[in-house]
């Protein structure tokens, strides 16, 4: 027995040096430590004339599954179940060579155009009014982007007149002539798309973009004073770009004009490194904090009257790295990415970032809605929900109210230097927590969202209420699958939301074990 103690010490030292050591964790919830109100508009999506997003996606008049408007009924049901709050339209790169008048009026008078961004023919059979019918059917708010590439500021103003002015001027009367007596009353308008990107048709430098955006904004707001305007922020993070300089210039020049600045991010896992990939939402968080600092600086000198400060709109974000070769990005089957479980965990991480930054992030749009890097995927006669559908659905259904500033204690890891994604540079992340969490609180109800980034190990976690006690049962929803590469397909959805057995709790703490490679939502009461 005298050798037992040294042997035990050796075993303990080996265990402490292993990657499984210290996996117990704590999450402290204090309902008095608040960040800001969560905007429902962070649960938005995006519809662009690209691939099969519109034609063969939401709009397919020749399908036996289409309704009288040509909308696929199964797609509409999936969109309704997703609780999409804000739908951005019509692009995207598409909008910089799109002229909205081509897409209104009688179908037999609409002129097909060569679509230059994605190398297709645009029939213009789907346009402003068809989109408005669709969003009204599925119960979502429209968000339009104007053409700041080949378009003019006068064209932008006329589109606002067509959509928002009740009667009188020419374009308001034209809408009525087209069968829409009441105005569409579109509140959200973006001043172009990715204008800092050299790939954008009509690409501008920051000075020229700001000049054009300011004058377009002037005319648009004089036409419809209550609209909200979104400036095109950074999208180009390649090594030779300077996204911070672009954002600083846009905020300095348009601080009295716009209501949001739009940021874009796409991430991927081309090197098949799970832990590097799981850290990518933190890049989004870093950029959010940088732009927040720029906004605070400019708000000190802004003259905005009673208007809110400028907020951030992450109006394009998603996983996109498989379908990005030249062939994959052109034609009628462009950008048809198929997602797995690890992609769903990254999406949950993005949503955690938006909630954790609820004071400044007020709009977010997953790109895109159907078929094109999308949560919904169709064939001619059926659809399936991709893995990324389920985190967005859970957040949009449950995560509302006030964002809480959580205290999370858990093991961390460092990544290698790695490539982030499309239009990106490389990064290296340090102290990445294995547990990624956010929480909301409203009327005594707390909702906690947790991604366990551990690929193989569960993390047992003590969940503590620092003000008040837990009471009753916590509902538990989990998104998981057999392994991180599991994909959904037609007739098979192994990655989906599963409601687990409720947890009965009382007092100021309880313990929950988060399974490996999982996203979990816990919902209960604090009193």
Q: Report pLDDT digits (tens) over 365-413.
A: 999 999 999 999 999 999 999 999 999 999 999 999 999 999 999 999 9
Residues annotated as catalytic are 194, 316
User: What is the spatial distance between Cα 141 and Cα 527, in angstroms, rounded to a whole number?
Assistant: 35
User: What is the spatial distance between Cα 211 and Cα 254, in angstroms, rounded to a whole number?
Assistant: 9
User: What is the spatial distance between Cα 432 and Cα 454, in angstroms, rounded to a whole number?
Assistant: 11
Closest by Cα among 391, 357, 457 to 25: 457
Task: Say whether the peptide bond before residue 219 is cis (omega within 30 degrees of 0).
Answer: no
Closest by Cα among 432, 406, 18, 420 to 239: 420
**pLDDT per position in the chain (527 positions), as tens?**
334 333 444 334 433 433 434 458 999 999 999 999 999 999 999 999 999 999 999 999 999 999 999 999 999 999 999 999 999 999 999 999 999 999 999 999 999 999 999 989 999 999 999 999 999 999 999 999 999 999 999 999 999 999 999 999 999 999 999 999 999 999 999 999 999 999 999 999 999 999 999 999 999 999 999 999 999 999 999 988 999 999 999 999 999 999 999 999 999 999 999 999 999 999 999 999 999 999 999 999 999 998 999 999 999 999 999 988 777 777 788 899 999 999 999 999 999 999 999 999 999 999 999 999 999 999 999 999 999 999 999 999 999 999 999 999 999 999 999 989 866 778 999 999 999 999 999 999 999 999 999 999 999 999 999 999 999 999 999 999 999 999 999 999 999 999 999 999 999 999 999 999 999 999 999 99
User: What is the spatial distance between Cα 248 and Cα 212, in angstroms, rounded to a whole number?
Assistant: 17
Q: Report if pTM > 0.75.
A: yes
Structural contact between residues 460 and 24, judged by C-beta atoms closer than 8 angstroms = yes
User: What is the spatial distance between Cα 441 and Cα 114, in angstroms, rounded to a whole number?
Assistant: 50
Domains of the chain: 22-36+404-526 (2.60.40.1180)
Measured over the CA atoms of residue 311, residue 315, residue 318 and residue 321, the dihedral's sign is negative
User: What is the spatial distance between Cα 3 and Cα 455, in angstroms, rounded to a whole number?
Assistant: 36
pLDDT by residue (tens digit) across 115-159?
Answer: 999 989 999 999 999 999 999 999 999 999 999 999 999 999 999
């Amino acid at each position: 027995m005298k050798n037992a103690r040294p042997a035990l010490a050796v075993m303990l030292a080996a265990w402490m040096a292993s990657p499984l050591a210290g996996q117990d964790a704590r999450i402290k919830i204090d309902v008095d430590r608040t960040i800001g109100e969560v905007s429902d508009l962070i649960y938005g999506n995006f519809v662009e004339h690209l691939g099969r997003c519109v034609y063969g996606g939401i709009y397919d008049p020749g399908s036996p599954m289409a309704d009288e408007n040509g909308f696929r009924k199964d797609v509409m049901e999936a969109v309704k179940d997703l609780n999409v709050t804000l739908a951005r339209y019509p692009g995207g790169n598409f909008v910089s060579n799109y002229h909205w008048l081509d897409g209104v009026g009688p179908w037999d008078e609409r002129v097909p155009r060569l679509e230059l961004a994605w190398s297709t023919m645009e029939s213009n059979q789907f346009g402003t009014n068809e989109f408005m019918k669709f969003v009204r059917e599925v119960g979502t708010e429209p968000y339009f982007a104007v053409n700041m590439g080949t378009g003019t500021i006068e064209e932008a103003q006329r589109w606002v007149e067509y959509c928002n002015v009740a009667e009188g001027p020419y374009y308001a009367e034209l809408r009525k002539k087209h069968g829409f007596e009441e105005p569409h009353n579109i509140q959200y308008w973006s001043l172009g798309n990715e204008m800092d990107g050299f790939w954008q048709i009509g690409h501008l430098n920051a000075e020229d973009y700001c000049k054009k955006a300011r004058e377009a904004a002037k005319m648009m707001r004089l036409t419809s004073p209550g609209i909200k305007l979104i400036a095109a922020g950074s999208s180009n993070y390649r090594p030779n770009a300077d996204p911070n300089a672009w954002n600083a210039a846009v905020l300095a020049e348009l601080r009295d004009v716009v209501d949001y600045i739009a940021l874009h991010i796409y991430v991927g896992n081309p090197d098949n490194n799970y832990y590097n990939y799981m850290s990518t939402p933190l890049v989004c968080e870093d950029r959010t904090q940088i732009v927040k600092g720029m906004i605070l600086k400019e708000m000190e000198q802004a003259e905005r009257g009673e208007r809110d400060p400028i907020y951030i709109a992450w109006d394009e974000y998603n996983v996109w790295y498989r379908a990005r070769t030249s062939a994959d990005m052109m034609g009628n089957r462009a950008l048809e990415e198929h997602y797995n479980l690890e992609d769903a965990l990254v999406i949950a991480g993005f949503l955690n970032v938006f909630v954790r930054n609820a004071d400044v992030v007020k709009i977010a749009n997953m790109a895109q809605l159907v078929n094109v890097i999308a949560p919904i995927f169709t064939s001619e006669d059926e659809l399936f929900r991709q893995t990324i559908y389920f985190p967005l659905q859970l957040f949009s259904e449950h995560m509302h109210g006030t964002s809480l500033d959580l205290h999370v204690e858990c093991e961390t890891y460092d990544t290698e230097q790695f490539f982030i994604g499309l239009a990106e540079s490389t990064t290296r992340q340090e102290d990445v927590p294995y547990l990624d969490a956010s929480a909301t609180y409203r009327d005594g109800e707390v909702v906690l969202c947790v991604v366990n980034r551990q690929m193989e190990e569960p993390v047992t976690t003590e969940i503590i209420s620092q003000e008040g006690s837990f009471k009753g049962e916590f509902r538990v929803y989990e998104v998981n699958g057999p392994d991180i590469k599991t994909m959904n397909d037609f007739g098979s959805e192994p990655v989906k939301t599963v409601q687990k057995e409720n947890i009965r709790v009382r007092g100021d703490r309880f313990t929950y074990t988060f399974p490996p490679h999982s996203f979990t939502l816990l919902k209960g009461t604090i009193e």
